[in-house]
Amino acid sequence: MSRFYPDMPRVGVSVLCHRSGKVLLIKRGKPPFKDHWSLPGGLVELGETLLAAAERELREETGLTAELGAPVETFDSIQRDEDGRVVTHFVLSVFLGPSLSGEAVAGDDASALEWVPLEELEDRPTTPGTPERIRRLLGR
């Protein structure tokens, strides 16, 4: 099924990985939201649990592992075209955890990555709601 103009929502995961007061953001290398900064993540594969997908996506996009538990939030990301048709619809579960190991290197769909202090979240284009979501989930 296509990501664009899909027949049904696609299920995905995002990972809010943090360390030393900073959060890990990736610069998206592909649409939707190409060149916007976002939490690492991607689609869940058939037969894969949400947690396994979050761990895999974090590793593929950043080279890192994190201490992840249950999802901390689930939300819809729906974009429509000028005619009101659904261009994309993702149901995303967000996982939260501190970085455990690995060297952060952009990989897979990420064109860049950066550890970003919370006070600098507004200094770059982000996917919708990302700075607010980060602050809320980290309790800041």
pLDDT tens string 36-68: 999 999 999 999 999 999 999 999 999 999 999
User: If DSSP codes are grouped into helix, strand and coil, which group holds residue 84?
Assistant: coil
Whether residue 87 has pLDDT greater than 90: yes
Stretch 94-118: mean pLDDT, rounded?
91
CA distance 14 to 136: 15
Structural domain contains residue 128: yes
* Tally of domains within the chain: 1
pLDDT of residue 103: 84
Structural domain contains residue 17: yes
Structural domain contains residue 16: yes
Structural domain contains residue 118: yes
Structural domain contains residue 1: no
Q: For residue 125, list its beta bridge partners.
A: none
pLDDT of residue 91: 98
- The pTM of the full predicted model, rounded to 2 decimals, is 0.94
Confidence band for 140, pLDDT divided at 50, 70 and 90? confident
Structural domain contains residue 102: yes
The whole domain housing 49 covers: 10-137
CATH number, domain containing residue 54: 3.90.79.10
Structural domain contains residue 88: yes
pLDDT of residue 57: 96
Structural domain contains residue 3: no
CA distance 40 to 57: 7
pLDDT of residue 22: 96
pLDDT of residue 1: 77
Whether residue 31 has pLDDT greater than 80: yes
Within its chain, how far is the Cα of 28 from the centroid? 9
Element (H, E) at 133: helix 130-137
